Amino acid sequence: MFILKRLLHALLVLLGVSVVVFALIHLVPGDPVRLALGTRFDQASYDALRRASGLDQPLLQQYFSYIGKAATGNLGVSFRSGQPVTVLLLGRLGATASLAITAIIIALLIAFPLGTLAALHRGKPIDMISRFFSQVGVSVPDFWLGILLILVFSSTLGWFSSSGYVPITQDPVAWARSVLLPAITVGTGSGAILTRYVRSSVLETLGADHVRTARSEGLRERTVLFGHILRNALVPVITVGGTQLATLLGGVVVVEVVFAWPGLGRLVYDSVAARDYPVIQGAVLLIATLFLVISFLVDVLYWRVDRRIAL
């Protein structure tokens, strides 16, 4: 019943997203067919491409035609490249997933130790360092940090690549050199946000009755920390972490442009500039689907962490 309700909810959300995106992109000024043809423009080619893409039909008919095809997995053909949108999106998803997963791992490696130590030593130097890092990490723009990392670790030291992407299956070492700088750029901001939530959640759990009971029973501090404090502090952190991961999977446009990263964010950026309607619609639907999947997994994780929470 839980899964059925979530599937119905997901379908309604995707339908709503498709309506909003379809309406918005048709309000944006500019002729996508004229832009797609460029210097190859002539009236016969223009009319043929409009008919082939269905743009000569009424808007309502265009929408229902798109939804019918999308339900079968056909998201249309790109005006700009002539490739199927599904092929374009799947081709970029690997690079985006690689960056997102690496960045969220970096964020967690920063947030959990720093946030936990800050909560356990409230008001002490480590707590002040944690709060300072959180403030700076949230405030520093991604593009500025990315350019700084490129100048230091790529241009000056030559340790990492400043642009491009190499799949991990092709060359793990080259993959690491290409992914680390953009992942650190993105992961630092996410880590700063998560550090705040970890600190706050651990502080709240420290004063709970079950923690005082565990300590009064003579349990070791490590057992209390990992078995009672961190486990119960995970629930709010999972929410924020899941949202951060879903956001990263949707593409980080600024970082992908700075590092010439061939991900979903860069694809959407280029498609908006070219008024490539099918790619924009397909990308937004894919990103919405990723958010829904992550949301479902977060709910399941709640239940795994704390069985008192009912699905």
Q: What is the reported pLDDT for 200? A: 84
For residues 175-202, give the mean pLDDT. 86
Assess whether 267 and 195 both reside in one domain. Answer: yes
The domain containing residue 278 runs over which residues? 87-303
List of residues 6+ apart from 211 with CB closer than 8 A: 205, 224, 228, 229
Q: 259 vs 96, 130, 163, 279, CA distance in Å?
A: 12, 28, 5, 22
Q: Does any domain span residue 60?
A: yes
Assess whether 268 and 151 both reside in one domain. Answer: yes
Domains of the chain: total: 2
pLDDT tens-digit series, residues 248-297: 877 677 888 888 888 888 888 888 877 778 888 888 888 888 888 888 88
Assess whether 99 and 54 both reside in one domain. Answer: no
Please state, in angstroms and rounded to a whole number, the distance separating the CA atoms of residues 170 and 172. Answer: 7
Could you tell me the pLDDT band of residue 308, with boundaries at 50, 70 and 90? low
> Which is more confidently placed, 162 or 111?
111
CATH number of domain containing 137: 1.10.3720.10
pTM for the full predicted model: 0.79
- Residue finishing a domain among 5, 37, 71: 71
Q: Does any domain span residue 238?
A: yes
- In the three-class reduction of DSSP (H, G, I as helix; E, B as strand; rest coil), residue 83 is classed as coil
Q: Does any domain span residue 311?
A: no
- Residue finishing a domain among 40, 71, 102: 71
- Which of 54-58, 178-182, 237-241 has the least mean pLDDT? 54-58
- Which of 154-163, 169-178, 274-283, 300-309 has the least mean pLDDT? 300-309
- In the three-class reduction of DSSP (H, G, I as helix; E, B as strand; rest coil), residue 77 is classed as strand
Query: What is the number of helices (H) and of strands (E) in the chain?
Result: 14, 0
Q: What is the reported pLDDT for 251? A: 65
The rounded mean pLDDT for the chain is: 79
For residues 194-216, give the mean pLDDT. 75
**Is pLDDT of 227 > 70?**
no
pLDDT tens-digit series, residues 31-82: 666 666 666 666 676 677 677 666 667 778 778 877 888 888 788 778 777 7
Q: What is the reported pLDDT for 33? A: 66
